[in-house]
Structure 1
Amino acid sequence: MLRNRADPRLLLSTAAAPAVWGTTYYVTTQYLPPDRPLLAATARALPAGLLLTALTRQLPRGSWWWRAAVLGALNMGACFPLLFVAAYRLPGGVAATVGAVQPLLVAALSTGLLGERLTRRTLLAGLAGMVGVSLLVLRPGARLDWLGVLAALGNATVMATGVVLAKRWPSPAPLLATTGWQLVTGGLLLLPLSLLVEGPPPAHLTGRNLLGYGYLTLLGAAVAYALWFRGLRALTPTRVAFLTLLSPLVATTVGWLALGQSLTPLQLLGAAVVLTSILIAQRGRPAGPPSRPPKHSPSTSTQEETTIPCA
């Protein structure tokens, strides 16, 4: 059975992934060519996946050909386009607030697919997290576009599903190999979409552009997703999902430090509520013994021994 209190070092290393993803907006707007979000997503996923696959020199076997394809499609291939549709059609605060429902979606899916208990503590922490994010990033008079709202909900849903399925399907392969397979699959799905919507990459890229793409590839994808999936192998999906609330918190902090944006008392309150929500989710009993262990999957104790954003 999973410990009630996880190793703080494991939590911190897992939290580093959504913290890095919180810098994506700054890097994209300050370092990359404008109006090429799908190119950025493709350049982030595909080279990182190829790099990890080359380093591990392992390809999927048996059912992991289609499982890696499904996980890559959910965690990267479908997640990124929906994220960008939401970003284009909604103010950033609205998109982030809608996306903050993800921990509750993960908790609900874990109940059905993993046999975890959905506790009152988790529900209250999830609602508090949504309130905290809204205080942190939502602005008065923010407009609502229903297609954008549906895209934001779709993004949260596909990523939540990917997180839970990654836990239900523990991979026999090394962590970096499994991460690489997913990134390659997601990148291959994004590549034709990027070419169709945005056309070929710019003919000339500056050193600043290359630095930005390198950051997203190495830190934003290869390192961040490896840390993310490492945490998910040892922790419950609900615990890991609550860490995604760090992304809007880091994005707001980077905007304040690097772009000179102001912070209001209401935003500071929102940051405090977000952190409290995350701490509550980590300290509580995240899952008792599963009442219905999933078929064809090892027990919880085995998953702990094997010690896994769209962002």
Structure 2
Amino acid sequence: MDSTATPSRPIKGLALIAPFFLWGTAMVAMKGIITTTTPLFLASLRLMPAGVLVLLAASWMGRPQPKSWQAWGWVLGFAVIDGCLFQGCLAQGLVHTGAGLGSVMIDSQPLAVALLARWLFAERIGLLGWLGLTIGLLGISLLGLPDEWIWTWLGGRFPTLDGAIGQLSVQAFLTHGEWLMLLAALSMAVGTVMVPYVARHADPVVATGWHMVLGGLPLLAWSVFSETDQWQYLDWSGWMAILYSTVFGSALAYGLFFYLAAQGNLTSLSALTFLTPVFALLFSNLFLAEVLSWLQWTGVSLTLVSIYLINQRETLLQWIRQWLEPPIEPLAEPVSLDSDPSETSSLKSGR
């Protein structure tokens, strides 16, 4: 029995981690070519072809299409929020944000997911879960905020809207694209919470495919009317980066994530998105020469700690209870005064 169950555990673990690895590396691929194309065109290419691939895979697996107007309504709402808004804000924000930092800002969304899941589905988070989320947000803050701001805050000074701290004011910070990344994070959080409702009326894999296709249409139309030179400066490596972002960073990653979200605990699954900035930062350093300070590396470490706390909180809680509660010694079996001790020992030994 164990021989068949054991291999499935690492495979399940890889399936859980895969979407976040693919999202992080796709962010690096997109940032590498953002100067040779336009953001809305890039966002539409990341969504629409990926959606077609997901729908083809769903058809091959025999998954049913949405059959009611209510099902199509949920799919359309899902497409607007998690497709159009999320990818549009992400691509626009990436123009003025590094791949690692952009991923960090987007992945501040697990706290919003946890709060929404607690309110809508009464999901239990627990003390260790809240501790993990708090540590994760602290890690993301160390990764995303400028080092000079952090050192200045530790010294008791705070930036004003039009004043500068070091060389960076709040106004300049907001024009760097971070607020668009936060809007993308909120869109993804709402989209994640919508998944169980969508899954009640439509197959989650099919809904994922349609939400990409329908969500990409407004982005493509907006690109046609507002952008120029969308593909004229793309070379072979640029098209390969788009292909990777589309097939692996969208089709495979989204298909896995929303399939798992429809079946598992939303808080635990969304907390794994803390892995995305870790992968994005590592690969952006490798391929884009984005360098991390030691404060940012501290943020990476805190992020990993938060992932462990959130996803192992039940196991840790059981271990803590066992450690705090000493084992109860069994009471000695009473011996009758009328019995012969030799008989008692013979009975206990089974003779």
Please confirm whether the aligned pair reaches a TM-score higher than 0.5, indicating the same fold: yes
Shift of 1:199: 3.6
Pick one of 10, 16, 19 that aligns with 1:17. 19
Q: 1:96 to 1:176 in 2, by over 3 A?
A: closer
Which region of structure 1 is more displaced relative to structure 2, 187-196 or 107-116? 187-196
Aligned twin of 2:151: none
Q: For the residues of structure 2 that align with 1:96 and 1:49, how far apart are their CA atoms?
A: 22
Q: For the residues of structure 1 that align with 2:35 and 2:206, how far apart are their CA atoms?
A: 31
Shift of 1:248: 1.4
Give CA-to-partner distance per residue, 1:197-233, whole Å, 9 cap, x none.
3246334642222211211111011111111112212
Pick one of 267, 277, 293 that aligns with 1:238. 267
Whether the 8 Å CA contact 2:132–2:309 is kept in 1: the answer is yes
Q: Does 1:75 align with 2:82?
A: yes
Aligned twin of 2:286: 257
Which entry has the higher C-alpha Rg, 1 or 2?
Answer: 2
Whether the 8 Å CA contact 2:25–2:283 is kept in 1: the answer is yes
Q: For the residues of structure 1 that align with 2:36 and 2:311, how far apart are their CA atoms?
A: 38
* Structural mapping, 1:20-39, within 5 Å: 20-31=22-33, 34-39=36-41
Q: For the residues of structure 1 that align with 2:256 and 2:217, how far apart are their CA atoms?
A: 22
Pick one of 110, 130, 144 that aligns with 2:170. 144
Shift of 1:271: 1.5
Whether the 8 Å CA contact 1:74–1:159 is kept in 2: the answer is yes
Residue type of the partner of 2:17?
A
Whether the 8 Å CA contact 2:47–2:215 is kept in 1: the answer is yes
Whether the 8 Å CA contact 1:90–1:143 is kept in 2: the answer is no
Aligned twin of 1:299: none
Which region of structure 1 is more displaced relative to structure 2, 99-108 or 128-137? 128-137
Shift of 1:247: 1.6
* Structural mapping, 1:1-311, within 5 Å: 9-31=11-33, 34-57=36-59, 59-62=65-68, 63-88=70-95, 95-96=102-103, 98-141=105-148, 143-145=169-171, 146=174, 148=177, 150-171=179-200, 174-199=203-228, 201-203=230-232, 205-285=234-314
Whether the 8 Å CA contact 1:105–1:157 is kept in 2: the answer is yes
Residue type of the partner of 1:46?
M
Question: What is the total number of aligned residue pairs between the two structures?
Answer: 281
Residue type of the partner of 1:157?
L
Q: 1:246 to 1:143 in 2, by over 3 A?
A: farther
Question: Equivalent residue of 1:101, what SS?
Answer: coil
The root-mean-square deviation of aligned C-alpha atoms, in Å, is 2.8
TM (norm. structure 1) is 0.79
Question: Equivalent residue of 1:83, what SS?
Answer: helix
Residue type of the partner of 1:236?
N
Q: For the residues of structure 1 that align with 2:262 and 2:231, how far apart are their CA atoms?
A: 39
Which region of structure 1 is more displaced relative to structure 2, 9-18 or 213-222? 9-18
Residue type of the partner of 1:132?
G
Q: 1:241 to 1:44 in 2, by over 3 A?
A: same
Give CA-to-partner distance per residue, 1:117-169, whole Å, 9 cap, x none.
34332222112112212323433345434475543332222211110110233
Q: For the residues of structure 2 that align with 1:205 and 1:244, how far apart are their CA atoms?
A: 30
Question: Equivalent residue of 2:253, what SS?
Answer: helix
Shift of 1:46: 0.4
Whether the 8 Å CA contact 1:33–1:209 is kept in 2: the answer is no
TM (norm. structure 2) is 0.71
Q: 1:52 to 1:99 in 2, by over 3 A?
A: closer
Whether the 8 Å CA contact 2:113–2:190 is kept in 1: the answer is yes
Whether the 8 Å CA contact 1:31–1:211 is kept in 2: the answer is no
Residue type of the partner of 1:40?
L
Unaligned residue ranges in structure 2 (runs of 5+): 1-7, 149-167, 316-351
Shift of 1:263: 4.1
Calculate percent identity across the aligned residue pairs. 27
Q: 1:151 to 1:281 in 2, by over 3 A?
A: same
